């Protein structure tokens, strides 16, 4: 199993939205490196749901990759700000995944806490100026984050 961190702004799409819907397509990613990470994901991988661009950024919960190899539909929508005229249904440029809700953390793990516990080499999200919306998380770091929430019980389900 691989681990990831995926960012969303809470006023755009929140962990509560994901919990209510059960699963969602993680669309509108328009960074090639983030897209390449999405292409590497496997069904069953776990991802930390991270709130960005908010007063208190941090990890709000956990989700699981449910489907992979999905063409991001927003690339084909002419009225979307994520429309890509160079992308075709035969050769889509932007792929994504479907994620499903796993857990909401009782208390979010704030970026300030992550910075205290991890170096920028260990966890990319703590790196100053990092704007990447999807990034890998090593198993060692993921286990430490889960331990901070006493979430080892969740891993027994997988």
Write down the mean pLDDT value for the chain.
93
How many C-beta neighbours within 10 Å does residue 121 have?
8
Residue 99 lies in a domain: yes
Position 78 in a domain: yes
- At 73-97, the pLDDT tens digits run 999 999 999 999 999 999 999 999 9
Instruction: Answer yes or no: is 58 within a domain.
Output: yes
Residue 140 has pLDDT above 90, yes or no: yes
The total of structural domains in the chain comes to: 1
Give the residue from 111, 100, 127 showing the smallest Cα distance to 44: 100
Which of the four pLDDT bands, split at 50, 70 and 90, describes residue 155?
A: low
In a domain, 15, yes or no: yes
pLDDT tens-place string over residues 85-130: 999 999 999 999 999 999 999 889 999 999 999 999 999 999 988 8
Q: Would you say the C-alpha torsion 77, 30, 52, 5 has a positive or negative sign?
A: positive
- Give the pLDDT of residue 128: 87
- Owning domain of residue 22: 3-152
**Per-residue pLDDT at 153:** 52
Give domain status of residue 51, yes or no. yes
Q: Note the pTM of the prediction, 2 decimals.
A: 0.92
Per-residue model confidence (pLDDT) at position 28? 95
Q: Does residue 158 lie in a domain region?
A: no
Instruction: Give the tens place of pLDDT for each residue, 6-22.
Output: 999 999 999 999 999 99
In a domain, 57, yes or no: yes
Rounded CA-CA distance 52/84 in Å is 25
- Quick one: what percent of the chain has pLDDT higher than 90? 86
Which CATH number do you get for residue 77?
3.10.590.10
In a domain, 157, yes or no: no
């Amino acid at each position: 199993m691989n681990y990831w961190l995926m960012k969303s702004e809470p006023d755009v799409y929140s962990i509560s939205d994901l919990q209510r819907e059960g699963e969602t397509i993680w669309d509108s990613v328009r960074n090639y490196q983030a897209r390449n990470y999405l292409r590497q994901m496997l069904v069953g991988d776990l991802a930390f749901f991270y709130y960005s661009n908010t007063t208190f950024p941090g990890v709000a919960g956990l989700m699981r990759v449910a489907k992979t190899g999905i063409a991001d539909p927003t690339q084909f929508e002419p009225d979307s700000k994520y429309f890509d005229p160079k992308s075709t249904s035969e050769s889509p440029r932007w792929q994504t995944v479907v994620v499903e809700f796993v857990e909401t953390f009782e208390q979010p793990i704030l970026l300030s806490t992550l910075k205290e516990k991890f170096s920028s080499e260990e966890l990319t999200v703590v790196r100053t100026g990092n704007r990447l919306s999807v990034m890998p998380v090593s198993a060692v770091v993921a286990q430490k984050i889960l331990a901070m929430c006493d979430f080892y019980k969740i891993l027994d389900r997988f």
